């Protein structure tokens, strides 16, 4: 696979501009005081579809030639990427197929259905997801748009970084959640394309810390059974994504589920926004590891806001 470059991120920004929102940034004096740093939050929870995933999905959909696009797109997703790809496909008037594992968050599944995708259910394992997606692809001829290991998806996710740096000049640190690594890959490429001195940190729950273990071992770890309330971060980091994070010197910080839930509540009380507990890992990491962030100017990505209000983690 050819990994995306900063030029690919710039191209993606132009490609998705007619469709994606420029999301706002928010900050809090109280949170700054707690951290001993300045932190601004890039609110991708307010992106179309409620998550940053719309950026990568839209870049992938609008990069297809007309003949390929007419056959549609397919992916496997626990929620946000499936919703994003469904919405992106609708902007182009093409079919979308989403393979969803049993046990996915109901609010996210409902959003996928509402966006008009054809849903295919499977067992809640990576192998089952990939097998079902391959079967749908073979039967329909649809283009597979992987949730995180697709270069077009990675480049699309990275488009939030130039926006953030324009909205909050002078940032010297970037902090993002890590699941499959599509966001972290795109953000790392974009941030160092703008300023190679920017320090990069990922946040990951202790019950799904495969990225942290992979970077510590200098080799991608194998399959694992995640144990975390952070449903958006239960995915094994992708092979190309691991290589990008390693190349750009990303340090992944572990946090507990309890810390993520507390950070989710703090974001509500201070910013008046509801974000997914997976999103709140960035604030949890900044609070847990002050030695990395004190005195710095931090941009933190709030990745999604598709919360089931009938099943809040507290």
Measure the CA–CA gap between 88 and 245, rounded to whole angstroms.
27
For residue 173, the cross-strand partners are 199, 298
Specify the pLDDT at position 310.
86
Question: Does the global pTM surpass 0.85?
Answer: yes
d(CA 284, CA 177): 10
Average pLDDT, the chain: 95
Q: Does domain 6-52+152-302 have CATH number 3.40.50.300?
A: no
- The pLDDT, as a whole number, for residue 106 is 79
Domain boundary assignment for the chain: 6-52+152-302, 54-148
- Torsions phi, psi for 101 (to 5 deg): -75, 150
Q: Which pLDDT tens digit goes with each residue over 273-293?
A: 999 999 999 999 999 999 999
For residue 249, the model assigns a pLDDT of 98
pLDDT at 306: 87
In DSSP notation, 39-82 reads: EEEEEGGGSGGGBTHHHHHHHHHHTS-HHHHHT-EEEE-SSHHH
Q: Residue 82: what pLDDT?
A: 92
**What percent of the chain lies above the pLDDT cut of 70?**
100
CA 190 remoteness from chain centre: 14
123 versus 58: the higher-pLDDT residue is 58
Query: How many residues comprise the chain?
Result: 314
54-148, which class in CATH? alpha beta
124 pLDDT above the threshold of 90: no
Q: In 166-277, which ranges are E strands?
A: 173-177, 199-205, 251-255
pLDDT in tens, 126-162: 788 889 999 999 999 999 999 999 999 999 999 999 9
Range scoring the smallest mean pLDDT among 78-82, 186-190, 215-219: 78-82
Cα(102)–Cα(97) distance, integer angstroms: 16
Sheet containing strand 118-122, edge to edge, reads 118-122, 96-101, 73-76, 143-144
Quick check: do 6-52+152-302 and 54-148 share a fold?
yes
């Amino acid at each position: 696979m050819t990994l995306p470059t900063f030029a690919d991120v710039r191209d993606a920004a132009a490609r998705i501009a007619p469709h994606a929102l420029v999301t706002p940034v928010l900050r809090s004096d109280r949170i700054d005081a707690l951290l001993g740093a300045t932190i601004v939050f890039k609110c991708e929870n307010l992106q179309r579809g409620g998550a940053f995933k719309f950026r990568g999905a839209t870049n992938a959909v609008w990069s297809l030639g007309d003949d390929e696009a007419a056959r549609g797109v397919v992916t496997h997703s626990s929620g946000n990427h499936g919703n994003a790809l469904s919405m992106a496909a609708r902007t182009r008037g093409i079919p979308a197929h989403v393979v969803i594992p049993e046990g996915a968050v109901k609010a996210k599944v409902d959003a996928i259905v509402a966006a008009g995708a054809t849903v295919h259910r499977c067992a809640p394992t990576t192998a089952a997801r990939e097998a079902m997606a391959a079967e749908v692809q073979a039967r329909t001829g649809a283009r597979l748009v992987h949730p995180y290991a697709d270069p077009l998806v990675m480049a699309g996710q990275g488009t939030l970084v130039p926006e953030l740096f324009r909205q909050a000049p002078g940032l010297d640190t970037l902090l993002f959640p890590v699941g499959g690594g599509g966001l972290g890959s795109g953000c790392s490429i974009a941030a160092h394309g703008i300023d190679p001195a920017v320090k990069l940190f990922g946040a990951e729950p202790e019950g799904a810390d495969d990225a942290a273990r992979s970077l510590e071992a200098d080799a991608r770890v194998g399959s694992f059974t995640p144990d975390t309330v952070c449903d958006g971060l239960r995915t094994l980091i992708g092979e190309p994504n691991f290589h990008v994070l390693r190349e750009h010197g990303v340090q992944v910080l572990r946090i507990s589920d309890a810390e993520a839930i507390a950070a989710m509540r703090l974001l509500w009380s201070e910013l008046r926004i509801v974000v997914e507990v997976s999103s709140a890992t960035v604030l949890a990491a900044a609070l847990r590891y002050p030695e990395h962030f004190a005195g710095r100017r931090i941009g933190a990505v709030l990745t999604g806001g598709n919360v089931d209000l009938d099943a809040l983690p507290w």
